[in-house]
Amino acid sequence: MRILVTGGAGFIGSAVVRHLVADKGYDVLNVDKLTYAGTETSLTTVKDNASYRFLKADICDHAAISNAFESFQPNRVMHLAAESHVDRSITGAKDFVDTNVIGTFTMLECARHYWAGLSGDAKANFRFLHVSTDEVYGSLGDKGLFTEETPYDPSSPYSASKAASDHLAKAWQRTYGLPVVVSNCSNNYGPYHFPEKLIPLVILNAMEGKALPVYGNGANIRDWLYVEDHARALNIVAERGRVGETYNIGGRNERRNIDVVTRICELMDKLSPKPISHSSLITYVDDRPGHDARYAIDATKLETELGWKAQENFDTGIEKTVRWYLDNAWWWGPLRQGYAGSRLGLLNTPAAPSKEGNA
Ligand code: NAD
pLDDT digits (tens, 9 = 90+) for 225-235: 999 999 999 99
Cα(4) to ligand 1 centroid in Å equals: 15
**C-alpha triplet 183, 189, 195: angle, nearest 5°:** 120
Q: Where are the beta strands (DSSP E) in 20-106?
A: 27-32, 52-56, 76-79
Give the pLDDT confidence score for residue 342 in this predicted structure.
66
Mean pLDDT, residues 14-32: 98
Tell whether the model's pLDDT for residue 355 goes beyond 50: no
Closest by alpha carbon to 183, among 225, 233, 138?
Answer: 233
Give the pLDDT confidence score for residue 359 in this predicted structure.
39
3-state DSSP call for residue 232? helix
Is 81 a pocket residue for ligand 1 (Cβ < 6 Å)? yes
Is 104 a pocket residue for ligand 1 (Cβ < 6 Å)? no
Beta bridge partners of 131: 183
Cβ neighbours for 10, distance < 8 A, ≥ 6 positions apart: 32, 37, 38, 42, 80, 81, 84, 194
Q: Residue 285 in contact with residue 258, Cβ under 8 Å?
A: no
Tell whether the model's pLDDT for residue 295 goes beyond 50: yes
Give the pLDDT confidence score for residue 288 in this predicted structure.
85
Letter for the amino acid at 89? S
pLDDT per position as a tens digit, 261-291: 999 999 999 999 999 999 999 999 988 888 8
| Residue owning the nearest CA to atom 5 of ligand 1 | 10
| Residue owning the nearest CA to atom 32 of ligand 1 | 80
Give the pLDDT confidence score for residue 357 in this predicted structure.
34
| Residue owning the nearest CA to atom 43 of ligand 1 | 133
List of domains in the chain: 2-187+226-252+295-314 (3.40.50.720)
Cα(38) to ligand 1 centroid in Å equals: 8
Give the pLDDT confidence score for residue 341 in this predicted structure.
62
Q: Residue 214 in contact with residue 258, Cβ under 8 Å?
A: yes
Give the pLDDT confidence score for residue 287 in this predicted structure.
86
- Reported residue count of the chain is 359
Q: How far, in Å, CA of 320 to CA of 342, rounded? A: 27
Tell whether the model's pLDDT for residue 55 goes beyond 80: yes
Cα(213) to ligand 1 centroid in Å equals: 23
Q: How far, in Å, CA of 246 to CA of 240, rounded? A: 12
Q: What is the mean pLDDT of the chain?
A: 94
Query: Pairing relation of β-strands 212-215 and 282-285?
Result: parallel
Is 78 a pocket residue for ligand 1 (Cβ < 6 Å)? no
Is 133 a pocket residue for ligand 1 (Cβ < 6 Å)? yes
- Which pTM does this prediction carry? 0.95
Going by pLDDT thresholds of 50, 70 and 90, the confidence category of residue 33 is very high
Give the pLDDT confidence score for residue 348 in this predicted structure.
64
Question: Helices (H) and strands (E) in the chain — how many of each?
Answer: 13, 13
Half-sphere exposure of 230 (CA within 13 A, CB side): 31
Enzyme catalytic residues: 134-135, 158
Give the pLDDT confidence score for residue 223 in this predicted structure.
96
pLDDT per position as a tens digit, 112-160: 999 999 999 999 999 999 999 999 999 999 999 999 999 999 999 999 9
DSSP string of 246-261, one letter each residue:
EEEE--S-EEEHHHHH
pLDDT per position as a tens digit, 305-328: 999 999 999 999 999 999 999 999
Is 33 a pocket residue for ligand 1 (Cβ < 6 Å)? yes
pLDDT per position as a tens digit, 64-81: 999 999 999 999 999 999
The number of the ligand 1 atom at minimal distance from the alpha carbon of 135 is: 43
Tell whether the model's pLDDT for residue 87 goes beyond 70: yes
Helix, strand and coil in the chain, % to nearest 5: 45, 15, 40
